[in-house]
Structure 1
C-alpha cells in the first residue's frame, strides 16, 4: 500500500496549530516564534514533508537537475570548481542550479531546502565556515538524494567527497619555509570546525617536527576566512615577544589580509616575514611581492564531484562512500624566498 503523503494539515493537527501557521513557519516567516518554527520544521523533516510539490510538467526537467552549494562565488577557486561541474553535467545531459551559502550556516540550510523544493536529484557542496552541525544535509540522504562534498568536507564515513592532499602539501610548504631560513614559522588556520583547517594544521605540525623546529602554540591561530579577520590575527602575531618570520595561510584571501598587516607594521615580505597562501587565486600573481601558493586542480575537482554524483543518481548511492584525493603543487613566488639566507 502506498504511504500517504504528509500534508500541512497533518502537521498542523499534530501540533495543535493552524495550517497557515505551519505554512509560514516552513517558509521561515519572521512572524512565527523561533521555538514554534523549529518545532514545525523538525516535525516536517521527521515526517518527510516536501514543502513544494513539483508540477507534473516539470518532473522530467527536475529529474535532470543537480544543485551546487558553494561558500562564495567570487573567488577563482569556487568559480573554477563550478565550471568543472557544469561542463561534466552538460556532457551527461544535466542542468546545474548554483546556490551560495555566503559562508553562513543558516544560509547553507536554506540552500539545501531550496534544492529539495525544486526537486534536485543530487547535490554537490562545500561546507560553510560557520557550519558545525550537518543535520540539514541529512534531509538529502534520508530521501536517498545523492550528496558529494568537495574541498571542505564532512562525515566522510558516510558521504563521498573530492579534495586535495591537504596534509602533505601543507607539510611541504612548511618545509619550504624552513629550507629558506625561517626559524619561527606560524600558521593562520581557518575555523576549527573545517576539515581543511585540521588537515593543513596537521601538515604544518608534522613539518615542524621533521625539521626539528619547536612547536609553539602561540604561532597557531584560527581565524575566519576573510581578509579583515586575517589582518587582525596577524597583528596579534606581530605583537608577540618573538614574532614569526614566516606565515603559512590557509588560503590566499587570508594571506592578502596578512600581507596588509605586515606592510602596515612597516615590515618587509619576505625579508622580515615570508608568506604563503593556499588557493592560487588570480590576484596571487599581481600583488607585490607575488604570493607563493598552492595550485589545485579545481576544474578536475568539479568534474570528479559531478561524475561521482551522477553515477549515484543513475545507479544508486554507493554502499561504501568514496573519497577522491587529488594532487596539488606548490607554486613558489617571491613572497616566500628570502634573497639572503
Structure 2
C-alpha cells in the first residue's frame, strides 16, 4: 500500500493545534513560542514531513508532475528517451521535470530526494554507472511512490522496467562479424555491475560459443563509460601483437572512441578492424566508412516507461518487464572482403 505523505493537517491534528500554528512554527515565525516550534519540528522530522512547494504556490490545484533521472542528458539516447516521456506525459496531462545525474551516484540520490520534496506523482529513472547501493530506491518503494526504470535497472522484484533486447542484438552483431571473416572479436563495455552491460556481453559470448570460437577473456574489456577511458582501452587492444580484428562497442561513447583510435593509428576499417557499435545517433551514417550499428528505439522506450508509470500511478501494482527490440543496421564498417 502506498504510504500517505504527511501533511500540515496531520501534524496539526497530532499536536492539537491549528494548521496555521504548525505552518508558522515550521517557518520559524516569531508568532509561535520556542517550545511549540521545537515540538512541531521534532514531529515533522519524525514523520518525514516535506513541504510541497507546488501546493504552497498553487492552493487550488497542484500540477501533475513526473520526475525523470538520466545519467547523461547531452547524449542523444537519453535526450530521445526524455522526448518520448514528455510526449506521452503531455498527452495525459502531466508535466515532466528532468534531472541529470552526470553518471554520479550522489547526484542521483540528491535527484531522488529533490523529487520526494517536490511531491512528484512518480519517477522514471536510469541508474548512474557507479550506482551499486540502491537504498534510495528502496526508500522510494517503502514510501509507495511509483517508479519505473529504463535501460539500466535494479531491484526487479520491486519496480517495473523497460529495457532493450541487448543480449540478442549483441549475439546477432557478433555472428555477423564472424560470418564476414572476423575471428578475434573484442568487446569493449561499461562497468560489469550494470545489467545492461551484462546482457550485451552475454550475447557476445553466446555468439562466440555458437560458432565454436574460443573465448579470449583478454579481449573483453569492461570499464568506466568515458571517451578517454575507452580510447585507452582500444589503444591497448590494437597495439598488441595478437590484436583483435573486430570490435563490438557497448554504446556510442565507446564506439566513437574506438573508431577514432582505429583511424588515428593507421588501421583500415573494416579490412584491418571491423567495428559495430550500440548507438542511437544519426552520426553513424556521416562517418567514413559508414558505421554498422545496433540501434536503440529510445523514443519508444520513453513512451513505454511513461505508460507503465501512469499505470502504476493509477493503481496498477503489477510489475511489468517491457522489452523494446533493437535493430541491427549493417553498413560499411563491418563488411569485409
Q: Same fold (TM over 0.5)?
A: yes
* Cα RMSD, aligned residues only: 2.4
- Stretches of structure 2 that go unaligned for 5 or more consecutive residues are 12-41
Partners of 1:287 and 1:278 lie apart in 2 by 15
Give the 4+ runs in structure 1 shifted more than 3 A. Answer: 2-7, 50-63
For residues 200 and 62 of structure 2, the distance between their equivalents in structure 1, rounded to whole angstroms, comes to 38
**Distance in structure 1 (CA, Å) of the matches to 2:280 and 2:5:** 51
| Residues 147-182 of structure 1 deviation map (CA, whole Å, 9 limit, x = unaligned) | 100011111122100011111110000001001100
- Specify the alignment match of 2:33 in structure 1: none
- CA offsets, 1:168-225, max 9 Å, x none? 1100000010011001011001111211110000000000000111100000001222
Matching residue of 1:49: 48
Give SS of 1:315's match: coil
Give the distance between the partners of 2:257 and 2:6, measured in 1 at CA.
55
Asked if the contact 2:6–2:48 (Cα under 8 Å) also holds between the matched residues in 1, the reply is no
Partner of 1:108: 108
Determine the C-alpha separation between the residues in 2 that align with 1:116 and 1:59.
19
1:208 aligned residue: 208
Partner of 2:119: 119
1:327 is matched with which residue?
Answer: 325
CA shift, 1:91, in A, is 0.8
Q: For the Cα contact (< 8 Å) 1:227–1:257, is it kept in 2?
A: yes
2:181 alignment partner in structure 1: 181
Give 1:138 deviation, angstroms.
Answer: 2.0
Residues paired across the two proteins, number: 302
What TM-score do the two structures reach when normalised by structure 2? Answer: 0.84
Q: Distance in 2 between matches of 1:76 and 1:255?
A: 14
Distance 1:139 1:61 in 2: 27
Whole-angstrom CA distance in 2 between matches of 1:330 and 1:272:
22
Q: Distance in 1 between matches of 2:214 and 2:60?
A: 60
Q: Tell me how far apart the structure 2 counterparts of residues 303 and 61 of structure 1 sit (CA, whole Å).
A: 26
Superposed CA offset, 1:18-48 (max 9, x none) = xxxxxxxxxxxxxxxxxxxxxxxxx99x955
> What secondary structure, in the 3-state scheme, does the structure 2 residue paired with 1:277 have?
strand
Partner of 2:17: none
